[in-house]
Amino acid sequence: MIAVQPTRDPVPPLAGFTIAVTAARRADELTALLERRGAVVLHAPALRIVPLPDDAELEAATRSLVAAPPDLAVATTGIGFRGWVEAAEGWGLGESLLDALRKATVLCRGPKARGAVRASGLVDAWSPPSESSAEVLEHLLERGVEGCRIAVQLHGEPLPDMVEALECAGAEVVQVPVYRWVPPVDIAPLDRLTDAVLAGGVDAVTFTSAPAAASMLARAAVRGLDASLVEALRRSVLAVCVGPVTAAPLQAHDIPTVQPSRSRLGAMVRTLEAEAPRLARQLPVAGHWLELRGHAVLVDGELRAVPPTGMALLRVLARRPGRVVTRAELLRALPGGGDDEHAVEMAVARLRASLGRPRLVQTVVKRGYRLALDPGAGPVPVGGHCMSGDGP
């Protein structure tokens, strides 16, 4: 009788990877989406949001618009517009603000902003199909804004290009700083994230706003680590952005980014899921398929947890698969280093136990160890990924 092989649950697409979340707002939602796909999440907010009711700049802008209603108003985000109205209500200005905006022609950057505007009882006049601030600006300039008073609801970061272009065209612009972002009160988590990126402990970093990306780079510069951080994000750590505006501060440093076609959290996570194979390395070893992920290994599609010491050794062996790596070289790769080659033997024994296939790592007597590479192996089995580059 032929034994029936038990079916194995598919390995989640992000299992074995460590993904950093730099968001302040909606961080729990993003973390849940990543963990549902198997990732280990490291959360380190790169900024914090000034609470709307406490924001003196927002209150001053609101009072200015109530006193002198705008001719045009631009709503850029749904959550920002709703928050603005709610904050105004807290200051006793809710109805006065809506009355002022009813006198204006209201433009919306996208469907969420349009929904919030309509839910407030206002009527919107136009929104671009692209959900782009640039297209909103183009529309305003084409219709002419000379002598107009324009309220622009910001969405977390300044829009200097839009404001400057409108002012040059003769408009008076009132900036409404909804959800103003400032550095976090506790900077330690962000520092720990940067250190983890530089130590190779993070596979991808997600960004949901341009200020978060700029803040992480700025903090690294204060610590004298900006060049190292930029190099890591260029070479070994994937930078995942929710959209092109968010990616701009990274691209200014020639850091490659990936981003979805639509600026949504779910779409960003699906993009990361699609890019995950780039973060792994597949090798045919001793009759098995070995896939190295950030902090775990797949052996013939089975996820095997490997401790940090074992992963450090495995990465060194995988850089030269099939070739002998000396004990001295492996010793240098062990966390903490040391000069006792017996520590390498113990670490290799634990690595073999973690992999569940002792023959994957061969002992070469009096020389060292090697991965028993199968140079003539066929294509990666169904469900695997052909990899290129140097890998982990």
Residue 302 has phi, psi (to 5 degrees) of: -100, 125
Could you tell me whether strands 288-292 and 296-299 are parallel, antiparallel, or unpaired per DSSP bridges? antiparallel
Q: Which DSSP letter does residue 51 get? A: P
Residue 252 binned pLDDT confidence (cut-offs 50, 70, 90): very high
Q: Which tokens hold the place of 79?
A: 């959550």
Which has the closest alpha carbon to 306: 293, 320, 322?
Answer: 293
Question: Two tokens at 32?
Answer: 């849940």
pLDDT at 159: 77
* Stretch 337-353: mean pLDDT: 84
Per-residue exposure over 165-201, b if at least 16 CB sit within 10 Å of its own CB, e if not: bbeebebebbbbbbbbbeebeebeebbebbebbbebb
Sorting pLDDT into bands at 50, 70 and 90, what band is 351? Answer: very high
> What is the predicted pLDDT for the residue at 338?
60
Q: Where are the domains of the chain?
A: 18-47+184-278, 52-181, 280-371
Domain 280-371, CATH among 1.10.3720.10, 1.10.10.10, 3.30.1360.120, 3.40.50.300: 1.10.10.10
Q: What is the pLDDT of residue 7?
A: 54
* Eight-class DSSP state of 53: G
Say how far apart CA 279 and CA 17 lie, in whole Å: 8
Averaged pLDDT for residues 106-116: 95
CATH T-level assignment (fold) for domain 52-181: Rossmann fold (3.40.50)
pLDDT at 387 over 80: no
Rounded distance between C-alpha atoms, residue 26 and residue 80, angstroms:
13
Q: What percent of the chain has pLDDT over 70?
A: 92
5-51 per-position pLDDT tens digit: 445 678 999 999 999 999 988 899 999 999 999 999 999 999 988 77
Q: Please report the pLDDT score of residue 377 as a whole number.
A: 58
Per the CB < 8 A criterion, the answer to whether 250 and 213 are in contact is yes
Asked if residue 264 has pLDDT above 80, the reply is: yes
Quote the mean pLDDT of the chain. Answer: 89
Confidence of residue 238 (pLDDT cuts 50, 70, 90): very high
On the question of pLDDT at 388 being above 50, the answer is no
| Torsions phi, psi for 306 (to 5 deg) | -125, 130
Region 356-369: mean pLDDT is 92
- Residue-wise pLDDT for 167-196, tens only, equals 999 999 999 988 777 889 999 999 999 999
Longest dimension (CA), the chain: 88
Report pLDDT for 52.
77
Q: Is the pLDDT of residue 2 over 60?
A: no
Same fold for the domain at 18-47+184-278 and the one at 52-181?
yes
Residue 221, CA distances (Å) to 44, 191, 216 in order: 17, 11, 9
Q: 99: pLDDT confidence band, cut at 50, 70 and 90? A: very high
Let me know: does 252 contact 240? Beta carbons within 8 Å: no
Confidence of residue 290 (pLDDT cuts 50, 70, 90): very high
Q: Which helix (H) or strand (E) holds 354?
A: helix 342-355
Does the pLDDT of residue 62 top 80, yes or no? Answer: yes
pLDDT digits 0-9 by tens, 132-168: 888 999 999 999 999 999 999 987 666 788 999 999 9
The mean per-residue pLDDT over the stretch 257-271 comes to: 93
Asked whether the predicted pLDDT for residue 304 surpasses 50, the reply is yes
Integer Cα distance of 272 and 242 in angstroms = 10
Task: Say yes or no to pLDDT of 378 above 70.
Answer: no
The stretches of 26-157 forming alpha helices (DSSP H) are 27-36, 56-67, 78-90, 94-102, 111-119, 133-143
Model-level pTM?
0.74
Q: Is residue 23 within a helix (H) or strand (E), and if so which, with residue range?
A: none
Mean pLDDT of 355-370: 92
* 92 C-beta neighbours (distance < 10 Å), count: 8
Triad 382, 383, 386: Cα angle to 5°: 85
Name the fold adopted by 18-47+184-278: Rossmann fold (3.40.50)
pLDDT digits (tens, 9 = 90+) for 190-224: 999 999 999 999 999 999 988 899 999 999 999 99
Half-sphere exposure of 218 (CA within 13 A, CB side): 13
Could you tell me if 373 and 283 are in contact, meaning their C-beta atoms sit under 8 angstroms apart? yes
Region 55-60 average pLDDT: 91
Q: In the numeric block, which tokens belong to residue 351? A: 């690595």
Give the distance from CA 87 to its chain's centroid: 29
Residue 352 has pLDDT above 60, yes or no: yes
Look at residues 148, 138, 141 and name the one whose alpha carbon lies nearest to residue 73: 148
